[in-house]
Amino acid sequence: MQPTIVTYLKPSSSQKIVVLNGVTAVGKSTLFKNAFQRPQFKDKFGFSVSHTTRQPRFNEVDGIDYHFVSELEFEELVQAGAFIEHTRNHGNRYGTSFKALEEVLKTKNVLLDLDYKGAASLKQEKLKQKQIYVLIRPPTWDAFVDRLRKRGTESEEEIQRRVQTAVQETNFFDSNKGFYDVEIVNHMLDSAVEHFCGILEGFIVQ
């Protein structure tokens, strides 16, 4: 049976979009969660919840961390034109839907935590909203691998897969310097948060 074609309205141009990129376990979530505790960002930003085919981790909640769907459900959404961008990473599929983005942009700026393929797809969409692309880097490669292992959420096989993916991502980051508006090295969390907050403050008042 052919899926129903759904046309989603593109969001209005009154709000802005911050796109975060970085290898897995680089600390993106910790960075923006710490930043959003600041009073100047209260009610200023929302987080667009992505769809994914991967299984939820023990502390993740459907509809809050991700919309967890089957491969079939994801493909039906693709065919229906529901995603503004979608990609496959670590053997699973991820996508940002027009509907999820639209809901947040009604009242707030949006933060999107994407991989580099998703970010590249988003740029090609040429949305009306002003966007800023922020790259978060680990201080060293060894620090990245160590953080990935200490997270304790993946098997050794999954860790090796993520390391291989990180090599591809880093190659993209190194060879596409002009792609990102800002780069932050997450060496010390406090200084990285201060840097990120400065970027957010400058961006939302433009």
Question: What does 77-95 look like in DSSP terms, one character per residue?
Answer: HHHTT-EEEEEEETTEEEE
Confidence of residue 206 (pLDDT cuts 50, 70, 90): low
- Nearest-angstrom CA–CA distance, 202 and 206: 7
Whether 13 shows a pLDDT value over 90: the answer reads no
Does 151 score more than 60 pLDDT? yes
150-159 mean pLDDT: 82
Mean pLDDT value of segment 61-80? 95
What three-state secondary structure class fits 131? strand
Task: Give the chain's count of helices (H) and strands (E).
Answer: 7, 9
Q: What is the pLDDT of residues 19-42, one digit of tens each?
A: 999 998 898 988 988 888 888 887
User: Going along 101-203, which residue ranges are E strands?
Assistant: 109-113, 130-137, 182-185
pLDDT for residue 125 is more than 80: yes
Tell me the CATH number of domain 16-204, given options 3.40.50.10680, 3.40.50.2300, 3.40.50.300, 3.40.50.1000. Answer: 3.40.50.300
Strand partners, 89: 92
Assess whether pLDDT exceeds 50 at residue 2.
no
pLDDT in tens, 53-70: 999 988 899 998 999 999
Using a CB cutoff of 8 Å and minimum separation of 24, what contacts does 35-44 make? 35/193, 35/196, 35/197, 35/200, 38/197, 40/197, 40/201, 41/197, 41/200, 43/108, 44/108, 44/109, 44/204
Higher pLDDT among residues 106 and 154, named by residue = 106
Q: Reply yes or no on whether the pLDDT at 205 is more than 90.
A: no
Cα separation values, 22 from 71, 74, 76, 99, 161, Å: 25, 24, 29, 25, 16
* Cα→Cα distances 88→75, 103, 144, Å: 12, 24, 22
Using alpha carbons, select from 19, 55, 79 the residue that is nearest to residue 153.
Answer: 55
CA distance 19 to 50: 13
Whether residue 124 is predicted with pLDDT greater than 70 in this model: the reply is yes
Determine which of 10-14, 95-99, 134-138, 158-162 has the lowest per-residue pLDDT on average: 10-14
pTM of the model: 0.81
Instruction: Judge whether residue 5 has pLDDT over 80.
Output: no
- Tens-digit pLDDT profile for residues 156-202: 888 898 899 999 999 999 999 899 999 999 988 889 999 999 999 88
Cβ contact 136:186 at 8 Å: yes
